[in-house]
Each structure stands twice: as structure tokens, then as C-alpha cells.
Amino acid sequence: MKLSGTEIVVECLKREKVKVVFGIPGGAIMPLYDTIDKKSSFTHILTKHEQGAVHAADGYARASGNVGVCFATSGPGATNLVTGLANAYLDSIPLVAFTGQVISPLIGTDAFQEVDITGITIPITKNNYLVMDVKDLASTIKEAFYLARTGRPGPVLIDFPKDVQVAKTDFHYPEKDKYSGYRPTLKGNLNQIKKAAKAIQEAKKPLIYAGGGIINSNASPELQELVKKTNIPVTTTLMGLGGFPEDHPLSLGMLGMHGLYCANVSISEADLIIALGTRFDDRVTGNIKKFCPKAKFIHVDIDPAEISKNIKISIPIVGDVKYVLAKLNQLVEPKKEKEWLERITELKEKNPLQYQRDDQLRPQYIIEKLDKLTKGDAIVVTDVGQHQMWAAQYYQYRYPRSFITSGGLGTMGFGLPSAIGAQFGAPKKRVVCIAGDGGFQMNVQELATVVKHKLPIILIIMNNGYLGMVRQWQELFFKKRYASTSLDGSPDFAQLVQVYGGKGIRVTTKNDLDSALSKALSGNEFVLLDCIIPPEENVFPMVSPGEAINNMLEGNQS
């Protein structure tokens, strides 16, 4: 039997076990929407903006571990995906985006709603395709899903013209999952792993620096086993939070620009850094010339291009961190560096996170309260800015996929739509979205999507009336000239959400917060908590740009 292009898409998505797709229809993708309206094995969630759709697909992928899928039409629909694709690319999140394209004879004529979306997205996708023949469609979709989820995951885009969507052909879904030009190394070189085991044996001050790769490859159990055997302390990147339980005595928390004092100082004193699924980003290393001057590096990553990109590595291991750690755990001898661990304990105990614990409702208090009430058993989704850093610092992440944030791209507006995706990806989990009043307003239209689908998201807005992180930098590095950072003129968010049909509470005191948050968590419906916090509250510790990461500003403490 012959199938049309759009029927092929539906059939392929069924075989890829896609459950939810986020998107918005438009001229060039109408045949696909017409087909899924008749029959499909997945739910389609209509967002209010294509950026909402792609971030939702991203949040879905992060919460569930499956490939996120989104649809958009040609032209503006496609360009509205760009930020979300770049976001997924920088955080290595598996996505497949389908975009409609103008009919093939019109391609290249600057037709209505025509853009060269494959050209535009070359640098921000793992690969992309313009499918000009319906016969190539099924194999392209198969390849796209395979690329998105294997190796270093990432977004893939498939653009297909309207005439290809309606053209018919015999359907055949290829079984193969081998592609010339694409063969990720999974197992890691045994000799290199042996070298790593030996280096660990010899190290006096070893430290594990774990990134998002631990989450992507589901390697948290293997990491915990390594620590159990070797008693090596662990610091994680923003992307790695949840990859190692933060209530473990050997957890140092996050490192980097807003990292914890003990994490940044320990890594600077270490003699061996075991970097796992991470990429020595500038927000982690600070001034790279001064990063870990005394250390030797083991680096495990599935992407060979990340090895020795930013820093020279003495023991590189290309491979999936899960496979490599499983092997390493067999080879490594049990050990316990007593002196080093005493030093770590001392650093940890003497330098806890600090803020003014007074009567005021402060952002750090909100996160601590959330942590106490949920005990790590929630999915915390953030937007980007100060609140994101407080959420990273003050919540104890105990499980993989319990923290969802825009790390590499730092996309304001990511929070709300990705929380929607996360809730679809983990329907039984409590999703708490934390956003600032700036970023929240960048995709505020998705409130309608939350209400429409009765998603029990708790949306906490840390409302300080400013683009807070920019304000903080203006205070510290731009002589307190607060150029265009005041958000004066924003609406009352508790009232706004009511117009959308949701529940909103304005929270101004600690007591308000305690009762509103407890109530929200015991209920099972969407609620927005508009928390009014002091504008002058800054994120500390902080490493100034260009400084070594153990040179931290301590800021406003009690």
C-alpha cells in the first residue's frame, strides 16, 4: 500500500515510540496536521509560540530521557525554532524538529513564508535534512532519530516541502542503525582505562568533576559505585546536578562562576581531576590558564572533539561514560586518601553557603524551603538568571533528571515551556518551575498551554523587578548604572494568571511562602506563586570574569 509523506511521518513516529509532539500548524505543514487529526499514535500539544514548542520538546527529552519532537511550519514557524535548537545543541539534548517547507518548485524564489531553514540551522543542529523526494522520507526520519539519541545527543531538523508531504510511495522503515560517517565510540580504550585506574591509585588528592554526560548516559549508578570504592569527592557542573546525590558526604555541590566555595577551592588544590562527560566550559573553569595548576587530567567524553579542546588532557578516554565507568570500577583498587578527605571536610564545614537569614523573604530561603518540603523528589525546572543559580546552589539534587535548566545557551524564556514538556515527560512527578520576572515574561503566553492541559505545575516567580543577573553585573562591574534593567511596568502576575484561568498567589513574607508552598505541594493543580524578593539580593559566591575560580567574591552574608 502506498502512503503519503505525512502518513509516513505518522508511521515512523509510531515506530520511534513517540508519545507527545509539541507544535503549531501553518500553511506549509497543513497536510501533516490534517493527517494526524485523522489518525496518530501520539498526542499533539498546541503551544502558543513555536519557541514554546521546541523548549517543551527539550524539557520532555530531559525529563524522560527520550527524544523530544516538535512541528512547525515554514518561514517564521521555522525561524522561531532557532533559539530552541541552539539551546538543545549546546546542552546535548536529543530532539527531532519537523518543519514544513514551501512546495519544491517555489524553493529558492523567496516565496511566501520561505526561509532556508536547513542553511540557517547548520551550526546549531547535529545534522539536518531537506527531503525533496518522498522515497527518502522514511530513511531520513530513521536516521534523524538515531543521530539525535546516540553518541553525543543533539537536535536534528527535517525540512520537507508541502508537495513531498502529499506525494505517495511504498512505505518501508529501514532496520539498519549503521551510517557511514557516523560511528560513536562507546566502550573506551582499555589501555587508557587501565592508565586512568593507575593514576587514581597514585593520586593523593583526586577529585571527580562530573557534567551533563552523566545524566545523558544514565551513568549515575556507575559514578556512585566509583565513589563508594575510591572515596573520591565529587563536584558537578550545572548540567551535571542530580548526577551524584548531593546529600552524600562526598558531594561538594556545583563548581564554577557561582560554584560553592568548597568545590572551587578543592578542585584548585587537587592533584588529579577525573572529568566525566563534561567540556571545561568557561563558566566552569574561570581563567583557564589558572585552572587546577597542580592537577593531571583524566577526561572521559563521548565526543572526541571535546578532548584537549580547552585544556591539555594527559589521559583522554573517548567513550560513553557509562561503559567506561563500569570498566574502570572493575579495574580500580579500593582507596581512601585520609588527609585529603579531612581537608575536604574542613573546607565543606567551614564554608557553607550563606545569606542573610532574617525576617525578609529572600530567594535562598524559598529554595531551601522547597528542598525541605520536597526532599529532592521533584523536578526543578528553571529559567535563566539569578534564580537559576540560587536554585542550583540551595536545592539538594539527589536524582538524575531532577534538575532541568538551560546551561550552555542561557536562554531566558526556557523555564515555563520546558516545565510543560517535563510534566508530559514525567507525568507522575511534581514539576516545580522557578523563573525570574524577566525570563517568565519572555514566554508568558504558554500559561495558556498549562491551563488548557491542567498541568499541575508549581510556578515560582522570583520577582525582584529587575533583570536581576544583569543588574548584579551592573552593580559590580558597571558602577551601579542600572541601564535598562528595571522591569517597572510589569503586570501583577497573580492577577495575570487568573485571566488565563489559573490560580495565582502573591507572596511577600516567609509565612506566606511556607503556607502557600505547602498547600501547593499537597494539592495537585497549577499554581503560580509570585514571590516578591529584595532587588539588591545578589548571587554569591561569584568568580569575576577572567579570575581563577578559587578567587571568589563572598558578598552579602550574615
Residues interacting with another protein, by CB under 8 A? 118-119, 122-123, 126-127, 130, 147, 179-182, 303-305, 308-309
CB nearer to another protein: pick between 123 and 352: 123
CB nearer to another protein: pick between 133 and 342: 133
Determine the residue type at 209.
Answer: Y
Query: Is 369 labeled as catalytic in the residue annotation?
Result: no
CB nearer to another protein: pick between 308 and 490: 308
CB nearer to another protein: pick between 305 and 553: 305
Which position among 39, 112, 312, 557 bears the catalytic label? 112
- The answer to whether the peptide bond before residue 541 is cis (omega within 30 degrees of 0) is yes
Determine the residue type at 365.
Answer: Y
Q: How far is the CB of 534 from another protein (least distance, A)?
A: 41
Which position among 113, 224, 354, 445 bears the catalytic label? 113
In 228-366, beta strands by DSSP E: 234-236, 251-254, 272-276, 296-301, 315-318
Q: How far is the CB of 305 from another protein (least distance, A)?
A: 4
Listed in sequence order, the residues at least 6 apart from 116 whose beta carbon sits closer than 8 Å to its beta carbon are none
Q: How far is the CB of 302 from another protein (least distance, A)?
A: 11
Q: What distance lies between CA 183 and its chain's CA centroid?
A: 25
Query: Is 469 labeled as catalytic in the residue annotation?
Result: yes
CA 455-457-459 angle, to 5 degrees, is 140
Q: Copy the grid coordinates of residue 471.
A: 543588574
CB nearer to another protein: pick between 95 and 552: 95
| 527-532 vs 503-507, strand pairing mode | parallel
CB nearer to another protein: pick between 74 and 538: 74
Q: How far is the CB of 131 from another protein (least distance, A)?
A: 11
Which position among 7, 11, 16, 50 bears the catalytic label? 50
Q: How far is the CB of 146 from another protein (least distance, A)?
A: 10
Q: What is the helix (H) or strand (E) element at residue 529, kind and residue range?
A: strand 527-532
Query: Is 112 labeled as catalytic in the residue annotation?
Result: yes
Rounded CA Rg of the chain: 24
Residue tagged 501533516 (cell numbers): 32
Q: How far is the CB of 130 from another protein (least distance, A)?
A: 7
3-state secondary structure 62-86: HHHCCCEEEEECCCHHHHCCHHHHH
| 2-4 vs 168-170, strand pairing mode | antiparallel
- Between CA 36 and CA 71 the distance in angstroms is 12
CA 274-243-51 angle, to 5 degrees, is 115
CA 121-212-218 angle, to 5 degrees, is 110
- Taking each helix axis from N to C end, the angle separating 468-477 and 386-394, rounded to the nearest 10 degrees, works out to 100
- Between CA 465 and CA 440 the distance in angstroms is 12
DSSP 8-state symbol, 413: T
Query: Is 50 labeled as catalytic in the residue annotation?
Result: yes
513 contacts 369 by C-beta, under 8 angstroms? yes
Q: What distance lies between CA 427 and its chain's CA centroid?
A: 18
Least Cα distance to 158 among 104, 99, 81 occurs for: 99
CB nearer to another protein: pick between 28 and 131: 131
Q: How far is the CB of 217 from another protein (least distance, A)?
A: 18
| 272-276 vs 95-101, strand pairing mode | unpaired
Which position among 412, 469, 542, 552 bears the catalytic label? 469
CB nearer to another protein: pick between 126 and 149: 126
381 contacts 59 by C-beta, under 8 angstroms? yes
Q: How far is the CB of 69 from another protein (least distance, A)?
A: 19
CB nearer to another protein: pick between 118 and 268: 118
Q: How far is the CB of 316 from another protein (least distance, A)?
A: 11
Query: Is 354 labeled as catalytic in the residue annotation?
Result: no
- Between CA 70 and CA 84 the distance in angstroms is 10
Q: What are phi and psi of 349, to 5 degrees?
A: -70, -35
DSSP 8-state symbol, 123: G
459 contacts 526 by C-beta, under 8 angstroms? yes
Q: How far is the CB of 132 from another protein (least distance, A)?
A: 8
CB nearer to another protein: pick between 10 and 164: 164
Catalytic positions are 50, 112-113, 162, 469
